[in-house]
Structure 1
């Protein structure tokens, strides 16, 4: 149990260093150990190398995102469902951009990361299928698939980063951009059957 807690603290230290130092791909083991309050040896007792730590951090972030982002307001009206989805997605992106960038820079060199990236994208699509079920139900399977691909691309973590960093939008402004885009792309909501 103590070893698992140590492992978690090392992962959290790694993630904190990534958030605090944009552009750094891999903090040194010494910096991670210092931040976590452990020795370098403690890191390598739990992770054979720093690539394994990066993969473990991806798993941790995926689990954390899933725990913090259960679908809410699934039975709400269209506006509420869109706002709820965007709020949740924005929070996930805000927390995860630093690690995502590292994963994108490393995915071609580390085969272990590819399934994690795929899972992250698939979860986004699965969540949209739940949140926008009424609208998607009016489309053919092919149209629905294409719309989900477009929605995932629009709400990609890099899209969020561009709005926030390049264009200087606040969280509220960036969220409003997504809300308007999604509302325009979704087909009309079918009328409730009496």
Structure 2
């Protein structure tokens, strides 16, 4: 009696399955983010599954729990925000750099404020979420240092740090939310307020020799 050797599994089929699984994972992340933008309430697994067009089982096949989904959504947002910022190098005179920086920051706040709120509301004792909050703030500071290096270079170490921290607090997500939601400022009006405030915090721009 001859036995038939098992057929080899096609690499193409495996790759296709992995691609579909990755796509499903991405759709679930996007569904979570869409729900956050629509409501301040943290989405449930059932709501996420319904919006994504999958079963709850599919959600938990890709993510062991909602905490893991929040982390994945945060990483997705950070990558997108970093990509959008990287497109605008810090060139130009003081006025141009102020405008570019503030408009970029305003768009990030406009897009990711709901996720930022959810991130802070759910961080609890999560080392992963606390690390990402810290990383986001550090990215904001590094971008700010690059944008305003000519001005910051004229300060000593203490003054430089104080100025950086003052601007970082000024351009926080909730600062943007207060202007847009509570005071009813348009995107352009909110940007103008930030530009004026940052311009006053920065020292004079050194003359180009």
* TM tier relative to shorter chain: over 0.9
Cα offset for 1:82? 0.3
Q: Which residue is 2:30 aligned to?
A: 12
CA distance in 2: counterparts of 1:70 and 1:8, whole angstroms: 23
Cα offset for 1:108? 2.4
Greater C-alpha Rg: 2
Cα offset for 1:113? 0.5
Q: Which residue is 2:188 aligned to?
A: 172
Pair 1:80-2:96 in alignment? yes
CA distance in 2: counterparts of 1:61 and 1:99, whole angstroms: 8
Cα offset for 1:39? 1.2
Cα offset for 1:92? 0.3
TM-score by length of 2: 0.89
Measured against aligned partners, the alpha-carbon deviations of 1:138-173 in whole angstroms (never above 9, x if no partner) come to 011111111111111000011000110011111111
CA distance in 2: counterparts of 1:75 and 1:40, whole angstroms: 48
SS in structure 1 of the partner of residue 86 of structure 2: coil
CA distance in 2: counterparts of 1:108 and 1:121, whole angstroms: 18
Measured against aligned partners, the alpha-carbon deviations of 1:59-97 in whole angstroms (never above 9, x if no partner) come to 111111001112625220000000000000000000011
CA distance in 2: counterparts of 1:134 and 1:30, whole angstroms: 51
Q: How does 1:38-77 map to 2 (within 5 A)?
A: 38-70=54-86, 72-77=88-93
SS in structure 1 of the partner of residue 78 of structure 2: helix
CA distance in 2: counterparts of 1:99 and 1:115, whole angstroms: 15
1:154 to 167, 170, 174: 170
> Aligned residue pairs: how many?
191
Q: Which residue is 2:20 aligned to?
A: 2
